Structures are given as structure tokens and as C-alpha cells.
Amino acid sequence: MLDYQSIINAIYQDAIKAKDKGIVASYIPELAHINSDNFGIHLRTSKGETFGVGDFEKPFSIQSISKVLALSKAMSLIGEDIWKRIDVEPSGNPFNYLSLIEVENGIPRNPFINAGAIVIADILVSNLQNPKEDFLKYIQALTGDDSIIYNKDVANSEKITGFKNYATANLLKSFSNLNNSVDVVLDFYFHQCALEMTCSQLSKAFYLFVNQGKCLQNKVHITNQQVKRINALMLTCGFYDEAGEFAFEVGLPGKSGVGGGIVALLPEKFVITVWSPGLNKKGNSRLGMLALEQFTTKTKLSIF
């Protein structure tokens, strides 16, 4: 049997010695002063075993990782109607390329590029009574952890500097693919991205994707079919224009965020969360990618 603890310990030892830790994202000013020495791994199996090393109990800004959780909430609310407004194909382009929206008449390529995630945010704003409060409660329920919060400073930092997101939302609006006002949708979206979670909390939150749609509290949130859809989307679209590389190097569905977090999972087996704030040139955690690559190499556990 695999000794997960030893494996992640070894990866941790390598990681903290790495010379090139990547570059911490600076386009969101509030994220710029995170120490790039942070490094944590946490693993949770579908059977409930957990393993952690390093800074796995330290909260960080989950950023785009939240897009997966927002998608699962939207799916539970309106089901397959989502796909009338968003496509499911990889974009093959950097994460905030507006051109595609124009070429495709306002239909974002998938729910994980910013344009698609903003449409998901619009759906949540339309279908939740108190969008920000209700979404936070959803995350707290998935994890059974009421301490999770939005970092208001990070949300505000993006509100002040997120011009491309404003451009994107307005463009979607011009194509009638945004039902609420740009300001309301982006206020929600920036909060969603500004969720602060630890590696172990993220492993809990993503547990439903390795447990047929049931969360830790054994509540069914989405169908097994919807789990499959989300896992397929993570594999093909979870890493901007490095999705193909990740599919090969790691071979797991996953989602990264510019805060340096990556969650990946082997369906029906385990969730693994890594955090290392420095990014590579494509905007994914540099050491996080390497750690997951080592993990699947050492464990020989991947979908391929």
C-alpha cells in the first residue's frame, strides 16, 4: 500500500530547497506581498484518510479555484441550462482573451476562463437570495467549517484594478449574456475569488467531486453525471493554456488559481491540494505543478 505521508514529505523537502520558486502574482496588489516560501500539501482520500505537510493549515486566496465551486453551485441550481450560455470546449488561449467572446458572439468557451466564470457569477446572483452570504454558506457547508471568510481587502483590490474583468463583463452585457448589472456581478465575482481557504479546507470542499456529488456531511449536492462533467472540464480547461501540459505531466483533473493554489483529484480516489504562491509564466503555481507531477509519478496514480 502507498505511504502517502512519506511521499508528500519527500516532495515537501524538495520543494523548500527549490531555487526558482516562481513569481508571486502582482496584478492584484493585495496578493503581491505574500511570502513565496509558503508551501503546503494536503491529501484527503475518498475513504476519509487525510495527510498534510508544510503550510497546509494556512489560509490563502483561492482565486480561480473558486470557479469550480461556483460552477457546482450553479449546476445544483439550474442544471444543464448553464450550457445555453457557456460552451464546454478548451480555449487554447490565455485566460482573459476578449477576442474569443467577440468571435463567438458572447458565448464564453468554458466556465473556467474569466468570461465563463463571470456568466456563472451572473447565474448565482440571479438564483441566490443573498448571493454573497449564500455562496459563503455553501462553502462552509461543504467543508463543515464556519471560519471560512471572504478577504474584503483582496476583493476590494480587484474591484479597483480589475479593468479586464470590467471589460469582459461589459462585453458579455453587450451580447445580452449578463442579466444583472456589471457592478453587482463583479462585486460577487471578486468576493468569490477572494475566498481564503487552507489546503485542508480545499480538500474538504472538493470532496464531493470524488464522492459522487455527496459532500463530507453526506448531503447530495450534484448528480454523478454532473460530477463527471465538472471533472472533465477541470481536465480540459483547468489550467488556462497549460491544460494540455498538465493533463500529460500530472494526468489529473484540477484547477489552479493565481494565489498559488492547485486542487487536483483522482475520481473516486482522492483530492490533493497544493499551495505555493510563486507562479510560472503561464500563471500556474510553479512548485505546485512540480509537486503534483512528482506525486503522480511516485504513486503511479493518474487517469491515464
Q: What residues act catalytically? A: 64, 67, 189, 240, 258
Q: Which residues contact 83 (CB under 8 A, 6 or more apart)?
A: none
* Residue 169: CB minimum distance to a second copy, A: 8
* Residue 182: CB minimum distance to a second copy, A: 7
CA distance 192 to 25: 18
CA distance 138 to 79: 17
Q: Show the site string, 72-111: x = touches a second copy by CB under 8 A, - = not.
A: ---------------xxxxxxx---xxxx-xx-----xx-
Total chain residues near a second copy (CB under 8 A)? 48
Which of residues 39 and 97 has its CB atom nearest to a second copy in the complex? Answer: 97
Q: Work out the number of other CB atoms within 10 angstroms of the CB of residue 183.
A: 11
CA distance 34 to 200: 19
- Taken in order 120, 245, 294, 38, the sign of the CA dihedral is negative
The x, y and z cell numbers of residue 173, run together, are: 452585457
* Residue 276: CB minimum distance to a second copy, A: 23
The x, y and z cell numbers of residue 161, run together, are: 484594478
Considering only 76, 212, 241, 298, the residue that binds a second copy (CB under 8 A) is 241
CA distance 172 to 165: 10
Beta strands 40-45; 270-275: pairing state:
antiparallel
Contact present, 249 and 293 (Cβ < 8 Å): yes
* Residue 266: CB minimum distance to a second copy, A: 10
Considering only 24, 171, 195, 292, the residue that binds a second copy (CB under 8 A) is 171
* Residue 125: CB minimum distance to a second copy, A: 17
CA distance 213 to 72: 9
CA distance 96 to 99: 9
Query: Of 181-220, which residues contact a second copy (CB under 8 A)?
Result: 182
Query: Of 114-153, which residues contact a second copy (CB under 8 A)?
Result: none
Considering only 157, 200, 201, 231, the residue that binds a second copy (CB under 8 A) is 231
Kindly state whether residue 281 participates in binding a second copy, applying the rule CB under 8 A.
no
Kindly state whether residue 170 participates in binding a second copy, applying the rule CB under 8 A.
yes
* Residue 5: CB minimum distance to a second copy, A: 25
Kindly state whether residue 16 participates in binding a second copy, applying the rule CB under 8 A.
no
Considering only 58, 132, 137, 164, the residue that binds a second copy (CB under 8 A) is 164
Widest pairwise Cα distance in the chain: 56
Kindly state whether residue 267 participates in binding a second copy, applying the rule CB under 8 A.
yes
CA distance 138 to 197: 14
- Taken in order 12, 13, 14, 18, the sign of the CA dihedral is positive
Kindly state whether residue 157 participates in binding a second copy, applying the rule CB under 8 A.
no
Considering only 251, 257, 259, 288, the residue that binds a second copy (CB under 8 A) is 251
- Taken in order 231, 236, 239, 240, the sign of the CA dihedral is negative
Q: In the complex, which residues of this chain contact a second copy (CB under 8 A)? A: 87-93, 97-100, 102-103, 109-110, 163-164, 166-171, 173-174, 182, 227-229, 231-233, 235-237, 241-245, 247-248, 251, 253, 267, 302-304
